[in-house]
Homo-oligomer: A and B are copies of this chain.
Amino acid sequence: MENKDIIPITLKKIIDDISQFQGYGEKSAQRFTVNLLKMPRGEAIELIRTMNKMLETVHPCKECGLYTEKEICDICSDDKRNRSVICVVEESFDAFTIEKTQVFNGLYHILGGRLSPLEGITAEDLNIKKLLERIDRLNIKEVILATNPTVEGEATANYIHTLLKKKTVVVSRIAYGIPFGTVLENVDEYTLSKALENKIKL
């Protein structure tokens, strides 16, 4: 019984590839293939066709890096936005999420990741040079660092903050505090201490 290759090769190849995705593992890759195989065939073919189309049409905005189907995204080309503020985020979906709040009306800048020495992601791999160039060219007055509140997101924000010290821009970081709708006893100590440090005068 040396039957280890009973998994069809196409299945194995897809699982191997998707297992390498950030935030994925072998189990979620397996689930992906099973779900695709179980879908009504026509819908599965359509989904794959849409993936192909996405690769052809979607790319980072030439200006800010946001995923778009145009050369310049809808935000960068919108005259009604405040063109003196840039919100710096790790990925396009962070910007999409912020847009849903309808609270921010400035421009975005997508880094395309965060500093991660463990994964070999350095400042060179991020869309930082372009940020500095945009700040000068667009005469930006304020930069909001909205990288994730994780160790890596923090390090990335700190790194960019240091670079910006030479420039005459106001730099701010999204606030840490208690998430709306939670009870105090469920909030971790670090978040609670930050919420107290950053208390707001009423």
Interface residues of chain A, those whose CB is within 8 Å of chain B, are 1, 3-4, 6-11, 13-14, 17-18, 21-24, 28, 30-38, 41, 43-45, 47-48, 50-55, 57-58, 66-69, 73-75, 78, 80, 91-93, 95-96, 99-100, 102, 105, 112
Task: Check A55/B31 contact, CB under 8 A, given A1-B102, A80-B1.
Answer: no
Tell me how many chains of this kind the complex includes: 2
| Complex contact B10–A54 (CB within 8 A) | yes
Cα separation A43 to B17 with both chains bound (whole Å): 9
A9: chain B residues within 8 A (beta carbon): 69
List 28 A-B pairs, Cβ < 8 Å. A1-B102, A4-B100, A6-B68, A6-B74, A6-B96, A6-B99, A7-B96, A8-B54, A8-B57, A8-B69, A10-B57, A10-B58, A11-B58, A14-B50, A14-B54, A17-B47, A18-B32, A21-B31, A21-B32, A22-B35, A23-B28, A23-B31, A24-B35, A32-B32, A34-B92, A37-B67, A38-B112, A45-B55
| Complex contact B31–A24 (CB within 8 A) | yes
| Complex contact A78–B3 (CB within 8 A) | yes
Cα separation A112 to B35 with both chains bound (whole Å): 11
Task: Check A91/B36 contact, CB under 8 A, given A55-B48, A67-B8.
Answer: no
